[in-house]
């Protein structure tokens, strides 16, 4: 079973998340749907962590359990990495919104939405424990950081789309930008994960900074122009990091087992 840990993890993550997403889609609109959205998003975001826990229980892998515990509590990684995690996502959004202005897209900043940051942190932590803490660390034993991040990003993007039964309502453009955005973001998250020795604290902060920046401009989600530019900007950042640090996404040799 240990040989198939990743396959079991991915199967469990999709099996738990997609029915919840489908249940939300079938509900009506209005305030009730908005309230349900928050509940569903919270539950869905923790399915990767729950899947990882189930796999660890089934395989009785004590070494991996200790490793994940170390990743969760690792916070002494140097101040500059906190700076990267907290400043890079807002900068990406600022560049995106500025680049969209010539196309007639003007988004209003809604600071009130920043109040949901604690909830975002909790939700993103559930995702990061599974996607980076478990899946990425396993993939890094098989290939370099760039390939691991790209492969995981594609899976992560498809997972976020929800079950295939709802894809026809999303449209090809939304599907492409969603998967593209998350694949590029996966490379950036892998970059900070590898360079901080596998810190889930830093990965969660970067993820939360990205999502909080998105929520601060709520109208962005409905703009196809914003989605396209955001995907391109993130891809440029991912390419820049790869050009700078190579396929290992790090100039220093990472630990053998992150």
33 is a domain residue: no
Judge whether 26 lies within some domain: no
Domain count within the chain: 1
116 within domain boundaries? yes
> Angle, to 10 degrees, between the axis of helix 62-73 and the axis of helix 200-215?
50
Closest CA relative to residue 255, chosen from 70, 100, 48, 102? 70
pLDDT values of the chain reduced to their tens digit, one per residue, 258 residues: 667 899 999 999 999 999 988 776 555 444 455 566 767 788 999 999 999 999 999 998 888 889 999 999 999 999 999 999 999 999 999 999 999 999 999 888 887 777 888 889 999 999 999 999 999 999 999 999 999 999 999 999 999 999 998 888 888 999 999 999 999 999 999 999 999 999 999 999 999 999 999 988 887 878 889 999 999 999 999 999 999 999 999 988 665 567
What pLDDT, on the 0 to 100 scale, is given for residue 31? 45
E strands, 22-91, in order: none
Residue 160, domain extent: 70-245
User: Is residue 43 in some structural domain?
Assistant: no
The pLDDT of residue 257 is: 63
In a domain, 15, yes or no: no
Q: What is the pLDDT of residue 85?
A: 97
Q: Is residue 25 part of a domain?
A: no
Residue 107 DSSP class: -
> Which pTM was predicted?
0.92
Domain-embedded: residue 204: yes
Query: What residue spans of 74-162 are helical by DSSP H?
Result: 79-100, 117-130, 137-139, 145-161
Burial class (CB in 10 A: 0-12, 13-18, 19+), 142: exposed
Instruction: Tell me the helix, strand and coil percentages in the chain, rounded to 5.
Output: 80, 0, 20
Residue 12's pLDDT is what? 97
pLDDT at residue 29, as a whole number: 47
């Amino acid at each position: 079973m240990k040989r198939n840990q990743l396959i079991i993890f991915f199967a469990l993550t999709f099996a738990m998340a997609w029915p919840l997403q489908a249940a939300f889609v079938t509900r009506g609109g209005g305030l009730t749907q908005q309230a349900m959205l928050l509940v569903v998003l919270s539950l869905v975001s923790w399915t990767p962590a729950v899947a990882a826990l189930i796999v660890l229980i089934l395989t009785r892998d004590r070494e991996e359990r200790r490793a994940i515990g170390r990743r969760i509590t690792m916070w002494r990684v140097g101040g500059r990495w906190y700076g990267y995690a907290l400043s890079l996502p807002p900068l990406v959004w600022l560049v995106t919104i500025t680049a969209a202005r010539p196309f007639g897209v003007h988004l209003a900043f809604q600071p009130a939405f920043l109040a949901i940051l604690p909830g975002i942190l909790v939700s993103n932590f559930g995702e990061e424990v599974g996607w980076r803490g478990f899946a990425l660390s396993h993939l890094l034993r098989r290939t370099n950081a760039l390939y691991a991040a790209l492969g995981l990003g594609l899976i992560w993007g498809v997972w976020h789309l929800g079950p295939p039964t709802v894809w026809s309502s999303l449209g090809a453009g939304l599907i492409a930008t969603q998967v593209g955005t998350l694949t590029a973001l996966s490379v950036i998250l892998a970059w900070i994960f590898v360079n901080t020795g596998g810190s889930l604290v830093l990965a969660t902060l970067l993820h939360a900074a990205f999502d909080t920046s998105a929520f601060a401009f709520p109208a962005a989600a409905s703009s196809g122009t914003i989605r396209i530019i955001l995907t391109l900007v993130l891809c440029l950042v991912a390419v820049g990091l790869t050009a700078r640090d190579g396929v290992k996404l790090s100039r220093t040799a990472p630990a053998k087992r992150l």
